[in-house]
């Protein structure tokens, strides 16, 4: 699998982004997380539920968007 497509790399980049105050207020980050949450089935397998929980946690760290 190409390096860019590795799911662990995607999660790592999202974790780095949510740690930055500028990203927590960015509409791009918030929108991406909302789309991820909405696309992950609440009743999926354990890995899907774990990922959805992680996305919900990140969304809980966001602040009002400065950019729309």
Burial class (CB in 10 A: 0-12, 13-18, 19+), 49: middle
Whether the predicted pLDDT of 65 surpasses 80: no
* pLDDT for the residue 68: 57
Mean pLDDT of the 28-37 span: 91
Distance between CA atoms of 60 and 43, rounded to whole angstroms?
Answer: 21
Residue 27: its pLDDT value, please?
A: 84
pTM: 0.78
Mean pLDDT of 47-64: 91
Mean pLDDT of the chain, nearest integer: 85
Instruction: Categorize the per-residue pLDDT at 53 as very low, low, confident or very high, splitting at 50, 70 and 90.
Output: very high
């Amino acid at each position: 699998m190409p390096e860019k497509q590795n799911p662990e790399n995607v999660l790592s980049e999202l974790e780095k982004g949510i740690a930055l105050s500028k990203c927590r207020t960015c509409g791009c980050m918030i929108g991406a997380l909302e789309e991820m949450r909405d696309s992950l089935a609440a009743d999926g397998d354990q890995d899907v539920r774990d990922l959805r929980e992680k996305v919900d946690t990140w969304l809980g760290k966001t602040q009002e968007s400065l950019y729309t």
